[in-house]
A and B are shown apart, each in its own frame.
Chain A
Amino acid sequence: MSTSFYVGALELTTGAVLVCAVMTLWRRQVRTIVTMLRFQGVALAAVAGVLAWHEHDVGLAITAAPVLAVKGALVPWLLHRVIRLDPRSRETAPLINVPASLVSSAFLIVVSYVVCSKLTALAPSAASRLVPIGVATVLVGYFMLVTRRRSVSQIVGLLLVDNGIALVTFLLTAGVPLIVELGATLDVLLVVVVLQVLVVNAGARHGSFDLDEMRELHD
């Protein structure tokens, strides 16, 4: 694989991860947000695949498959089950409105670029120069976690944080040891299973599961 083609493919897939993150902030339909998450999982697996091909790293290639299965297929399927229970399918009135969220995300992207300069300086390469994009995805995920009210949106925020960190892992170190990577992916899946079961149980027993109504525990 020629160098410029590798660099172009890496840029394309990494950029796709961040664009999907921004699209989850932009769209209001919860179904569209989950579809964006699915695309992001596919793009993340593609990043791992491109890196594995270039570095001839078998371990990384093996990790790409569970990443694709879990983040591209299983997790969105579980989230769709959560959505099906709740008839309201739109994110109504986020704490910060959509245009302001989008401008804030642009600001966060710039911040991540500034913050990652030290990391890139240690080992300059085509992959490590793209680390700001992973950190930007993490920051966008945090932003979504803090400013959204629907439970599904909070799960999506958490998954964005996880995807961003996975992207940084792939770019910086071409993946941590295999068992750790597999454990991390499995943990993400289990967390989503747990959250989905919580929402289903709460919905079944108490009628609805809206974070807006969960204000009973406080000091």
Chain B
Amino acid sequence: MLSLLALAVPLLMGVIALVVPWRRWIGWGSAFSSAGVLGLGVALCVTTSSHGPVSALHGMLRADALSSFMVVVIGTVSLLATLQTPRVMSQEIAAGTTNPRLASYYVVLMQAFITCMLTAVLAANLGVLWVAIEATTIATTFLVSHHRTKKAIEASWKYVILCSVGIALAFLGTVLVYFAALHAGVGTPRTASLNWTSLMAIAPHLNHGVMRLAITLLVLGYGTKVGLAPTHSWLADAHSQAPAPVSALMSGVLLTVAFYALLRFKAIADAALGPAFPRALFIIVGLLSLVVAAVLLIAQRDYKRMLAYSSVEHMGLLALGAAAGSSLAIAAVLLHMLGHGLTKSTLFISSGEIAHAEGTTEIAKVTALLARRPVLGAIFGCALLALLGFPPFSLFISEFTMARAEVNVGLWWVVASSLVCLSVIFVAMTNHARHLLLGGESSTAVPLSARSVVVPLVTALVACAFVGVSAWPLLTLLHAAAHVVAP
């Protein structure tokens, strides 16, 4: 029931935005619906912790601890992103880069996007999960090309083509899993289904050759959507050309929803093949992503692309944590998802403000932000520190715990290599940040940033720090969620 409500709220808001012409209150309405999603997510967490997994809609939707946690993550980041909608749309309409019709399309597509993500995490059937993730690609294409410039259209073209190809591979992997289930020799053929729970039950009987092929295709396919190398080339273009709240939502939570799909499939593969083969796959893509991100961050010239490549890095870290596979590792991965979502969205939204104020996204042309716009610069700087893994922010705890879990399993060489890459990334990003933030002299007449920017972003950073210091109230939830895929 709750899960159904969680889907219905953004859907309803989307329909309203479609029917009613653009007004400012529609923008606030979308923020309100995201707040509703967050509240329902918290309620779902409470319900699943006391009653266990709940189903709805004749078993099509299923919420266990992992799904409820993902709903909370989606709700949080979408709240941050949609709170910006009224201000950003008014700015763009005033500047003439958009018109009310496009603004209402923007709201409709954002709501559709959020609904699809919620469907993906609440789906009981892995095929429905696939359909929902494909639907997010379609919903976000026009969001990426919202500004209708030549670069934006090129970015959205690349995004659609590459992600559709990846998703098609993931579909083939899903079909192979279904094929293995049909011939698993348990029960009669034709009673197999793509439900995750039934697949987990018969996992030990699935054919090894077919499952190996299937998990490889799935890692490559969904890995395209996550932004893991070698299929990461769409990320920088799409996330840098999209409007700032859209980039926040995509980088903050869409990548993690695709990774959630990988976690579900990895659980099946671990039960069918044993941990060795899936672990090797995840280590390969994880280390490759870290190396690629490190190399490409050094000579970066655009700060939005810099943030996009940092997303590639963090997805690589998530892959390495999932490779470890223990309950502690997965709990750290989930905490990292939440922390990354909060900080990355903060960074993208503030970078959107910076781009609007300075008129350019090149690092070389923006300088002395702390002097000229102290509040905005401070937010950007603190969020960047959080992203780089400084205490007290939660990313420090999650990265440390992931490293500890990897060492526990014997992957100390992976930890060493990832630390090398992380140090390179640290140096590269602090270098760019130094150029952006420092220098110049402070003046007294500084323009003020809008309250609708400052308040949510500061709240997000404070929440991230709070979670970093004391993981309560999330501790039990994280362990319950991790137990779902890593018993």
Contacts and interface: CB of A to CB of B under 8 A. Distances in A.
A and B: real partners? yes
Interface of A: 118-119, 121-123, 138, 142, 145, 151, 154, 158, 161-162, 165, 168-169, 172-173, 176-177, 179-180, 183-184, 187, 190-191, 194-195, 197-198, 201-202, 205-206, 209, 211, 214, 216-217, 219
A78 to B, nearest CB: 14
Most chain-A CB neighbours within 10 Å: which of B131, B142, B300?
Answer: B131
Interface string B149-183: 01101111110110011001001101110111011
B126 to A, nearest CB: 9
B130 interface: yes
Contacts of B296: 219
Contacts of A118: 209-210, 213
B157 A214 contact: yes
Interface string B271-315: 000000000000000000000000010011000010000000000
B116 to A, nearest CB: 11
B210 A151 contact: no
Contacts of B98: none
B168 A162 contact: yes
A206 B150 contact: yes
B149 to A, nearest CB: 9
If over half of A's interface residues share one DSSP class (helix, strand or loop), that class is named, otherwise mixed; here it is: helix
A82 B168 CA distance: 23
A202 B141 contact: no
Interface residues of B, number: 50
Contacts of B31: none
Contacts of A211: 157
Contact of A194 (B130, B138, B158, B176): B138
A123 B179 CA distance: 9
Quick one: which of B150, B237, B240 has the most chain A CB within 10 A?
A: B150
Interface of B: 125, 127-128, 130-131, 134-135, 137-138, 141-142, 145, 148, 150-151, 153-158, 160-161, 164-165, 168, 171-172, 174-176, 178-180, 182-183, 193-194, 207, 209-210, 213, 236-237, 240-241, 296, 299-300, 305
Given A177-B127, A191-B138, A217-B154, A119 B210 contact: yes
Nearest to A172: B179
Given A168-B175, A217-B151, A161 B194 contact: no
Nearest to A118: B209
15 contacts: A119-B176, A119-B210, A123-B179, A173-B175, A176-B178, A179-B125, A179-B127, A184-B131, A184-B134, A190-B135, A191-B160, A195-B157, A211-B157, A217-B158, A219-B296
A37 to B, nearest CB: 16
B125 A177 contact: yes
Nearest to A55: B190
Contacts, number: 130
B128 A179 contact: yes
B168 A219 contact: no
Given A158-B165, A187-B134, A202-B153, A195 B183 contact: no
Given A173-B182, A179-B127, A184-B131, 5 more contacts: A118-B213, A145-B161, A158-B165, A165-B168, A183-B134
Contact of B131 (A151, A165, A187): A187
B236 A219 contact: yes
A23 to B, nearest CB: 21
Contacts of B209: 118-119, 121-122
A86 to B, nearest CB: 15
A205 B155 CA distance: 16
| 10 closest cross-chain pairs (CB), A and B | A180-B127, A183-B131, A118-B209, A214-B154, A187-B134, A217-B237, A172-B179, A202-B153, A169-B175, A190-B138
A122 B183 contact: yes
B138 A119 contact: no
A195 B180 CA distance: 34
A177 B181 CA distance: 13
B128 A161 contact: no
Contacts of B210: 118-119, 122
A24 to B, nearest CB: 16
